[in-house]
Structure 1
């Protein structure tokens, strides 16, 4: 039995997501939340109501029909701003706090790293770097970075 086959999800006049449950109950202002946004972004998405309670569980986004999948993917993309660092261009100092200039999948940017504890190892060479404003930057595979970027990064690991 496929619980997601009849998933009714749409946007209201204000652009908020509305879920109509199997019992006909309408839930306005629902939000999708990934269980594993980095490790398994296609797996485990919860649709929660305005009160934070789970209303619906989705095992795989890719298994959804095209219409609700597109709505969920658009909503997730707007909520999950996490640029991927492709190259580290410069670091102001090798002590913290330090200013970093990086190239991301969304363009060039600079940020301040408050401390080495703001660089978290995620496994498989991935890193999560949190800047002084709480913005998260992802390094998918630190070993795949160019030589200069790896050398700059190693000073902080």
Structure 2
């Protein structure tokens, strides 16, 4: 697998990958190998049947045009707001409503149970709301003191 390819969009807006030798692959999808721990490394370009046609070690290895298309496609496919601050919770017993500030704006969600907070690696957390939306806390040790205090009650 190689990073020597060209990305474009067809008339339907689907991602098209053209290899060095001229092979054209329509409706390719990028899949991150490590979406939380290393989001810009290890990206597989796959067809609808799951067959891998290209591997990207690092997004920084790509041309600017390819990187922009890839980033646009990944952004459109993935929705995982990152919690920057926990403003308040209605209760320390579940279910409870969390009021948070995220990288995509302020929101609130219902946490059904403590099991909906999962550790990912040494410092990251995934918090699932009652609708199945996952919120990321990239580093629970770097979040502000007030938010950390609230988190400690649930962990």
User: What TM-score, normalized by structure 2, do the two folds share?
Assistant: 0.92
Question: Which of 11, 14, 18 is residue 12 of structure 2 equivalent to?
Answer: 14
What is the distance in 2 between the residues matched to 1:111 and 1:21? 44
Question: Which of 124, 127, 130 is residue 126 of structure 1 equivalent to?
Answer: 124
User: Is contact 2:80–2:134 with CA below 8 Å preserved after alignment?
Assistant: yes
Residue 103, structure 1, aligned to residue 133, structure 2: no
- The SS at the match of 1:83 is coil
What residue in structure 2 maps to residue 75 of structure 1?
73
Instruction: List gaps (5 residues or longer) in structure 1.
Output: none
1:31-85 CA distance string (max 9 Å, x none): 1010001111121100111122211111111101111111101111111211111
What is the distance in 1 between the residues matched to 2:141 and 2:64? 36
Instruction: List gaps (5 residues or longer) in structure 2.
Output: none
User: What TM-score, normalized by structure 1, do the two folds share?
Assistant: 0.91
User: Is contact 2:3–2:54 with CA below 8 Å preserved after alignment?
Assistant: no
Aligned CA RMSD, in angstroms, stands at: 1.6
1:136-157 CA distance string (max 9 Å, x none): 1111221222222111111110
Question: Which of 70, 91, 109 is residue 89 of structure 2 equivalent to?
Answer: 91
Question: Which of 53, 56, 69 is residue 54 of structure 2 equivalent to?
Answer: 56
What residue in structure 2 maps to residue 156 of structure 1?
154
Offset of residue 24 of structure 1: 3.1
What is the distance in 2 between the residues matched to 1:124 and 1:79? 26
What is the distance in 2 between the residues matched to 1:145 and 1:59? 30
User: Is contact 2:81–2:134 with CA below 8 Å preserved after alignment?
Assistant: yes
What residue in structure 2 maps to residue 24 of structure 1?
22
